[in-house]
Chains A and B, each alone.
Chain A
């Protein structure tokens, strides 16, 4: 079945270092969403990408959607302790109605 894979599963960085998580789908996606879950919290929507090759920025966060619309990435520049959490990508399945989530990348930031 349709799968969304995310790597790495864990990433430990020193504060100030950059961080990137990658999302790969087994099928072409119409759009992709990114969510952030703080420790002990619930997932919160960050952004949606729709167009092939689209790049969006939110302050230190840069989101990219691949040309083939099968992969995406989230890059954080100069991480801060407030960036700690798990980042999920998610894409709709082909039949609609289901949002398939990647396994998530857990980011820890050492001050």
Chain B
């Protein structure tokens, strides 16, 4: 089954404790992206990757890191999480990054930083 998976689905952590949210897709998609969703603000892009070893900042990249060593994986790293990073996070992938392909979203990761 074609899908985007994320882990963990829920996470409660404390300020400053490094964490990684994994994202994997099995559709051989070139493009992958991370979004955060906050009430009233819609989906805001954190980072995206056009292909392996090619990443770029989205609209809200501060406090986050990403890497794209393999085509299927695109982990999101929070080196020193802070309470303002409490949010619902979605990973997404699409065939290309042209903007003409539908994006497939993962199930989401609800992160709480205390």
Residues of A within 8 A of B (CB): 6, 9, 30-31, 33, 35, 41-45, 48, 50, 88, 90-93, 96-104
- Known contacts A44-B105, A98-B58; A9/B40 CB under 8 A: yes
Least distance between B2 CB and chain A CB atoms (Å) = 12
- Tally of contact residues, B, Cβ under 8 A: 27
B104 nearest in chain A by CB position: A45
Least distance between B37 CB and chain A CB atoms (Å) = 8
CB contacts (< 8 Å) of A6 on chain B: these are 42
- Known contacts A97-B48, A97-B56; A43/B43 CB under 8 A: yes
CB contacts (< 8 Å) of B31 on chain A: these are 97
Least distance between B30 CB and chain A CB atoms (Å) = 11
- Asked if A99 contacts B90 (CB within 8 A), the reply is no
Give complex CA distance A44, B40 in Å.
Answer: 19
CB contacts (< 8 Å) of A42 on chain B: these are 90, 105-108
Give complex CA distance A1, B43 in Å.
Answer: 16
Give complex CA distance A99, B35 in Å.
Answer: 10
Least distance between A66 CB and chain B CB atoms (Å) = 18
CB contacts (< 8 Å) of A101 on chain B: these are 35, 42-45
- Asked if A43 contacts B105 (CB within 8 A), the reply is yes
Least distance between B50 CB and chain A CB atoms (Å) = 6
- Asked if B40 contacts A103 (CB within 8 A), the reply is yes
Give complex CA distance A44, B108 in Å.
Answer: 12
6 nearest A-B pairs in the assembled complex, by CB-CB distance: A92-B99, A45-B102, A103-B42, A101-B43, A42-B105, A97-B97
CB contacts (< 8 Å) of B103 on chain A: these are 33, 35, 43, 45, 90, 99
B41 nearest in chain A by CB position: A103
B58 nearest in chain A by CB position: A98
- Asked if B104 contacts A104 (CB within 8 A), the reply is no
Residue in A33, A88, A97 whose beta carbon sits within 8 Å of that of B102 in the complex: A33
As a 0/1 sequence over residues 84 to 107 of chain B, the CB contacts with chain A under 8 angstroms (1 = contact) are: 000000101000011110111111
Which residues B25-75 have CB closer than 8 A to chain A?
Answer: 31, 33, 35, 40-45, 48, 50, 56, 58-59
